[in-house]
């Protein structure tokens, strides 16, 4: 996870992230909890994947759309965690993410959240380790197997392995 935003994370957050990205599938719900975040699976409008907003009891709450596939919900939780880790000062009354992960925040900020979300849910060292394990399966099948192992969509894994 040695990328530009790394230096902006607190040592405490880094150690929590490292602990939770050691094993796959990454337990994103438990990770959120360890970071002090509440996660609610909710009936959100169809064009919304998720949101993060201040919780009335203090801290922040993440809501994820229950109508979307499980794999997609996992990525959304990771995306909202990324907003918390990197963009807390910009959340204000809340950040609502569309299905394209667009919000009131700039596309640069959204791209950054997607990058950290991918680092959380598809740790590169694990992706390369398991790609080597599955390499006899052939490219197409490897993506499917990896997606299943990491519990992410094939599309997300395809983008990740193309990184
Ligand atoms: Zn976002």
* 97 and 146 in a common domain: no
* 105 and 128 in a common domain: no
CATH code, domain with 105: 1.10.10
Q: What is the mean pLDDT of residues 9-24?
A: 96
* 156 and 128 in a common domain: yes
* 113 and 46 in a common domain: yes
* 69 and 15 in a common domain: yes
Write down the pLDDT at residue 138: 86
Instruction: Check pLDDT > 70 for residue 113.
Output: yes
**Helix 154-161 and helix 107-121: axis angle, to 10°?**
100
Q: How far is the CA of 111 from the centre of ligand 1 (A)?
A: 8
Domain with 152 in it: 123-163
> Structurally, how many domains does the chain consist of?
2
* 103 and 82 in a common domain: yes
Order across the sheet with 48-54: list the strands.
Answer: 38-42, 60-65, 48-54, 95-98
Write down the pLDDT at residue 140: 86
Q: pLDDT (tens digit, 9 = 90+) per residue, 64-108?
A: 999 999 999 999 999 999 999 999 999 999 999 999 999 999 999
Write down the pLDDT at residue 6: 83
Write down the pLDDT at residue 162: 83
* 110 and 146 in a common domain: no
Q: How far is the CA of 98 from the centre of ligand 1 (A)?
A: 8
| Tokens representing residue 83 in the block | 């907003």
Q: How far is the CA of 49 from the centre of ligand 1 (A)?
A: 9
CA separation for the pair 43, 58 (Å, rounded) = 23
Q: What is the mean pLDDT of residues 42-71?
A: 96
Confidence of residue 2 (pLDDT cuts 50, 70, 90): low
Q: What is the mean pLDDT of residues 121-138?
A: 94
* 82 and 36 in a common domain: yes
Q: Which has the higher per-residue pLDDT, 46 or 139? A: 46
Q: How far is the CA of 14 from the centre of ligand 1 (A)?
A: 20
* 72 and 9 in a common domain: yes
Q: How far is the CA of 22 from the centre of ligand 1 (A)?
A: 25
Instruction: Check pLDDT > 70 for residue 1.
Output: no
Q: What is the mean pLDDT of residues 32-46?
A: 97
Among 45-49, 58-62, 134-138, where is mean pLDDT lowest? Answer: 134-138
* 162 and 131 in a common domain: yes
Mean pLDDT (the chain, rounded): 95
The burial of 145, by beta-carbon neighbours within 10 Å (0-12 exposed, 13-18 middle, 19 or more buried), is given as middle
* 147 and 95 in a common domain: no
* 81 and 141 in a common domain: no
């Amino acid at each position: 996870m040695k990328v530009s935003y790394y230096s902006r994370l607190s040592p405490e957050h880094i150690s929590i992230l490292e602990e939770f990205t050691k094993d796959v599938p990454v337990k994103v719900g438990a990770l959120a909890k360890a970071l002090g975040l509440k996660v609610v699976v909710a009936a959100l409008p169809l064009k919304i994947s998720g949101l993060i907003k201040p919780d009335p009891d203090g801290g922040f709450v993440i809501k994820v759309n229950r109508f979307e596939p499980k794999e997609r919900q996992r990525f959304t939780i990771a995306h909202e965690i990324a907003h918390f880790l990197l963009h807390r000062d910009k959340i204000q009354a809340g950040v609502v993410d569309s299905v394209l992960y667009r919000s009131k925040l700039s596309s640069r900020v959204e791209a950054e959240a997607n990058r950290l979300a991918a680092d959380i849910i598809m740790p590169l060292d694990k992706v390369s380790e398991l790609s080597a394990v599955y390499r006899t399966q052939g490219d197409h099948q490897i993506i499917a197997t990896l997606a299943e192992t990491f519990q992410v969509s094939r599309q997300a894994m395809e983008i990740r392995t193309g990184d």
